[in-house]
Amino acid sequence: MKKLFKTLISLLVVLMLATLTGCSSSINTIKKEENKAEGEYAGQTVILHTNDVHGAVEGYSYLPELKASIEAQGGTVILVDAGDYTNGSIYVSISKGESAVTLMNQVGYDLATLGNHEFDFGFAQLQNNLSKAEFNVICSDILKDGKSIYDSEVIYKVGSLKVGFFALSTPETQTKVNPGLIQGLVFTEKEDLYALAQAEADKLAKKCDVVICLSHLGVDDESQGNRSIDVLGNTTGIDFVIDGHSHTVMSNGEKVVEDATEKVDVTNVQQTGTELANVGLIAIDNKTKQIVKSENIATEGLAQNADVLATAQNIVATVDAEYGATFATTEYVLVGEKPIVRSQETNLGNLIADSMVWSVTNETTLEVDNDHVVAVTNGGGIRATVEAGDISRTTTKTVLPFGNTIAVNYVTGAELLEALEASTYCTPDAVGGFPQISGMKITVDTTVEYDAGSEYPGSTYCAPNSIKRVTIDEVNGQPFDETATYAVVTNNFCAAGGDTYYAFKRAYDAGNGFDTSIPMDETLVNYINFELGGKITAKYADVEGRITIK
Ligand SMILES: [Zn+2]
């Protein structure tokens, strides 16, 4: 009775404090039973952390065994993930990320935040996936209607020790994910990100002994301003950052990178690389409240949990069986071999380009009408001919082995023309950038010399000084207009200025483009299945005169 009375009083105090401080919500506090076993980690709370698992499903089997071994040595374990678990391999992408959550539940994660790839299938799908999560999800810096989309903080209490977590997810998600799928979300950047992190650190410091930032920010140069180390350098009171995103292996101030010349201070930041090559460990003494150990543990050779491994292997076997199976047939040879696909229109090039337009116009809302949508994909990305007969996913993976995704760039007619002129500069000689196209008819006049200007930045290819060789004869049956805006469906490689496509990069960098994150080979499979009914139609018996070479 006395105990109940005491509990009621403390509850009242908490409520009063919350009202007095104007605290919008009290922080979710989770009590963990303190492990009383003897051993190396006796009296310690051990945070085990992973990041960027990216569908390496079998690797999850290391975690229950590692956790058990630390518990056997007296440690109380909190298992956390710093994001990018829902995409990266077909074994998780095939379920739009849900199978990753299934595995994480089975492993017994306590906490996770969101990486950019968590949004690849859209925010609605992410919410659906995470509604099944048996672990806590926190994210402090992505907002909807002025509020963070998940809890901003969580506190774990082990004995008298309180460890507080808040989480920062990269604002780069804005440009790495199809904007149509993340509408209404606001991403916090740079100064605002530091201010938000400071407020979180201050809030947690009042209640906790150790403040940890669970971060999907990374330390890449290209992320400058939004890196974990930028947050750490511009705030006080964060005791440790558990990082992700850049796939860096780093611990105790040491960063394992190819480029050893780069010097950034990564003290108090730990990241495990990717695909569960390592598991991070941070040990905190429950009495002194000090971090007493931080390290990465290589997983190779560690014990694997049989149940988790069985779940993972079942996923792998199911997907692999599906891949090897015939899903379609063709009575026509689909031409994808070098040098043909790099110097002229081919029926396989048409099929792939058509599938790209089909995918985007079906799954995405574009800013232009469908008669202003075209596709351009580099012939060098098409790697094999499909013989007449059966088609399996192994076939499509062989044709498109790079795992490229479909991107959309909004360009002017003039920019489209520039890209095509540059990409046929040596036609009829083969070049990887040679365009396979959909939605337009073009003519390349090889009797005229290419008017080469200066090299594109960071490129070995030259911009055209003037348009001499290419004419765009029509776009979806309409006259071509240099001043109109066209949506060019391409692959993420060309969108980023790969091969001869600097004109696309210019648009992309100016914010006039996005990556759908939809893999090209998956799109090809879906197009053949759903649009063509599993049989390559007569439309693709031969070329159609989309590209005339004079
Ligand atoms: Zn990431």
Written in H, E and C, the secondary structure of 134-176 is CCEEECCCEEECCEECCECEEEEEECCEEEEEEEEECCCHHHH
Handedness of CA 8, 10, 12, 15 (dihedral sign): negative
Quote the ligand 1 centre to 544 CA distance (angstroms).
41
What pLDDT is recorded for position 401?
A: 73
d(CA 386, CA 353): 16
Quote the ligand 1 centre to 82 CA distance (angstroms).
9
Identity of the residue numbered 429: D
Quote the ligand 1 centre to 216 CA distance (angstroms).
6
Quote the ligand 1 centre to 249 CA distance (angstroms).
14
Residues 6+ apart with CB under 8 A from 377: 349, 352, 353, 356, 435, 436, 437, 490, 491, 494, 520
Q: How many helices (H) and strands (E) does the chain have?
A: 15, 29
Identify the top-confidence range among 176-190, 472-486, 522-536.
Answer: 472-486
For the chain, give the percent of residues with pLDDT over 90. Answer: 74
pLDDT band for 257, please (50, 70, 90 cuts): low
Cβ-count burial of 4 within 10 angstroms (0-12 exposed, 13-18 middle, 19+ buried)? exposed
Handedness of CA 89, 92, 95, 97 (dihedral sign): negative
Residues 6+ apart with CB under 8 A from 374: 357, 416, 437, 438, 439, 440, 475, 476, 486, 487, 488, 489
**How are the residues of the chain apportioned to helix, strand and coil, as percentages rounded to the nearest 5?**
35, 25, 40
Q: For residues 472 and 420, is the Cβ–Cβ distance under 8 A?
A: yes
- Average pLDDT score over residue span 452-476: 92
d(CA 86, CA 105): 13
d(CA 81, CA 48): 9
- Average pLDDT score over residue span 10-32: 58
Q: Which residue has the tokens 């690389």?
A: 273
Query: What value does the CA radius of gyration of the chain take, rounded to a whole number of Å?
Result: 27
Q: Which tens digits make up the pLDDT trace of 339-382?
A: 899 999 999 999 999 999 999 998 778 899 999 999 999 999 99
Q: Which tens digits make up the pLDDT trace of 112-135?
A: 999 998 988 889 999 999 999 999
Q: Which one, of 232, 94, 116, 91, lies nearest residue 178 by Cα? A: 116
- Residue 4 in this model has a pLDDT that exceeds 50: no
Q: For residues 364 and 178, is the Cβ–Cβ distance under 8 A?
A: yes
Q: For residues 94 and 120, is the Cβ–Cβ distance under 8 A?
A: no
Q: For residues 123 and 182, is the Cβ–Cβ distance under 8 A?
A: yes
Quote the ligand 1 centre to 121 CA distance (angstroms).
14
Quote the ligand 1 centre to 244 CA distance (angstroms).
7
Handedness of CA 378, 381, 385, 390 (dihedral sign): negative
Least confident of 6-10, 289-293, 348-352: 6-10
Quote the ligand 1 centre to 220 CA distance (angstroms).
11
In this structure, what token pair is assigned to residue 353?
């380009």
Quote the ligand 1 centre to 83 CA distance (angstroms).
7
The H or E element that residue 297 is part of is strand 291-298
d(CA 418, CA 32): 62
Quote the ligand 1 centre to 275 CA distance (angstroms).
12
pLDDT band for 5, please (50, 70, 90 cuts): very low
Quote the ligand 1 centre to 246 CA distance (angstroms).
7
Quote the ligand 1 centre to 529 CA distance (angstroms).
31
What pLDDT is recorded for position 262?
A: 53
Residue-averaged pLDDT of the chain: 90
Q: Which tens digits make up the pLDDT trace of 60-85?
A: 999 999 999 999 999 999 999 999 99
Exposure on the CB side of residue 528, measured as CA atoms within 13 A: 26
Quote the ligand 1 centre to 168 CA distance (angstroms).
12
Q: Which one, of 409, 461, 411, lies nearest residue 432 by Cα? A: 461
Quote the ligand 1 centre to 30 CA distance (angstroms).
27
Least confident of 33-47, 131-145, 247-261, 301-315: 247-261
Q: Is the peptide bond before 428 cis (omega within 30 degrees of 0)?
A: yes
d(CA 180, CA 173): 12
